[in-house]
Amino acid sequence: MHKHFEISYLPLAISLLALEQAELPTFLGSTLRGAIGQSLLQVDKEASAFLYRNGESLDTDRNQVVVKPYMIIPPEICAPRNMIRRGEKINFEFWLFGNASKYAPSLILALEHIQEFGLGAYRYPFCLSEVVNSHTQRLIWRNGSVSKLDMSATFIQGFELTKVTGVIIKICTPLRIRRGGQMVKSLPFMTLIRNIINRITMIAERYGGWVDRSEAEKLQALAAEVCTIREELRIEPMVRYSNRTNRKMDFSGLMGELEYRGDLTPFVPWLYAAQRLHIGRNTTFGMGKIRVYFI
């Protein structure tokens, strides 16, 4: 099998236990990121800087977004209100890319102290219940006991299929792609594949990995031959409050389905990986999650 790219990552499946009834936002990506970030800043400033502030100076100097070395995958949105009863659990994943995995012990220590910060605007108390390596299903943390041996990374690599002539893309969490300072409202295949390739390449080059650059360039040219045959998109309004800037931020993005036709076989490894890595802006919050169905 041809090697298209390789990115290492440590997937941590985390459970937090509610210590009292809590009403939280339906989309928990920003809430979880904020609480974990506050706790991490207290327990390990180096880890906090690497995970949360990585590349901010470059972002200012070059006026471009620098990919972060982690991603939160929050629980699925399944109700207009998110009422958590006492004793119930919130389950989510926190992925560390490449060399960020060395900060897993600090991240777990921050999770142990998350009760001090709480979740949501009213700081509802939650405590850590368990941490599992979701690739090996080995327990990393339970009842205060940590197993560093089970903090082993795995790899995102190419997955191949033959005779793929179509693909359906379902956007599961709001997808934000900006061009010229404006959010795109339509998604030609060229735009989609360019964003996927850029994300994979930036993670690999910044945090350790490998990408077949010549293949990536060829694919971006081939993408022009893939046609959109169905585009059912809407803008999902979403707002988050930033504790750092003390203001509300617009997090609206595209939701819906797309269908493309053409010779999609060469794109399969990249589309498959995008299901795990998400695409667009604000992936650290769990935005831009997609599901792909090959025809």
Q: So what's the pLDDT on residue 61? A: 45
**Is residue 80 pLDDT above 70, yes or no?**
no
Q: How does pLDDT run across 214-226, given as a tens digit for each residue?
A: 999 999 999 999 9
Which whole number is the average pLDDT over 270-294?
Answer: 95
**Is residue 62 pLDDT above 60, yes or no?**
no
17 confidence band (pLDDT: 50, 70, 90): very high
Q: Which residue, among 72, 54, 76, has the nearest Cα to 9 in the 3D structure?
A: 72
Which CATH architecture fits 8-155? Answer: 2-Layer Sandwich (3.30)
56 confidence band (pLDDT: 50, 70, 90): low
**Is residue 53 pLDDT above 70, yes or no?**
yes
Neighbouring residues of 229: CB distance < 8 A, sequence distance ≥ 6: 166, 259, 260, 261
**Is residue 7 pLDDT above 90, yes or no?**
yes
Q: So what's the pLDDT on residue 14? A: 98
Which CATH class for the 158-294 domain? alpha beta
**Is residue 54 pLDDT above 90, yes or no?**
no
Whether 8-155 shares its CATH topology with 158-294 is answered yes
| 120 touches 25 (CB < 8 A) | yes
Q: Where are the domains of the chain?
A: 8-155, 158-294
Which whole number is the average pLDDT over 261-283?
Answer: 95
